[in-house]
Amino acid sequence: MYSVSRLAYLLFSFSIIFGCAVAAMGQRSNNASDADFGPVVSAYLGYLHNEQEVVDDRVSRREITPTYYRRNSNRIHALREMAIRLVRQSGNDYVPELEAVTSDEMGTIFERPPKVNTLQKSEVFANKFRFLGQVRTGEIFYLFARLDPYEQADLMSRGGGAPSLETSPKGQRIGQSTTRARRVVPQ
């Protein structure tokens, strides 16, 4: 015969175990969807997942305001959505360095911010960023890819304009092995 306190203890223990099992299953299903991607994209999506956990932890400790929490959670969601969109379009295991900003945050990445109503896909700004599109996740985020140094050099050597397709990063095809040319250092 169990006492009431022992029964309550068993019920409490069962609920903790059940809660952990549900959380683990949710994590597994999230990783299963990430398994569709190569190691680079999976790592980036894992990074975004970790960033969301940090924001969740900070709001649970009341270190940040609910407004700050919402904006950053929405930003993380927008970055994830754009990364997945880029990978599915290209089929490459490559994600450029992405920036997601709202219209009032344009000044954080641009000295002279462009007007949001004039943004055109693939347009290059300040020889540093290519506009990828917008994502609405609670609010509208404008997503930009930072150009790699080779694209920037190509733009500057041609006097501006968008780089040709031959110089844009190709990345690794999903399922393809990685090999890289050896770097030659002058002596």
- pLDDT tens-digit series, residues 64-96: 999 999 999 999 999 999 999 999 999 999 999
Q: How confident is the model at residue 33 (pLDDT cuts 50, 70, 90)?
A: low
Calpha distance 15→112 (Å, rounded): 55
Would you kindly state where each structural domain of the chain is located, as residue ranges?
Answer: 18-95, 96-164
- Residue of 3, 7, 46, 51 lying closest to 27 (CA atoms): 46
Q: Is the predicted pLDDT of residue 136 greater than 50, yes or no?
A: yes
pLDDT tens, residue by residue, 141-187: 999 999 988 888 887 888 755 443 333 344 444 444 444 444 555 54
Contact 174, 91 (CB under 8 A): yes
Calpha distance 21→24 (Å, rounded): 5
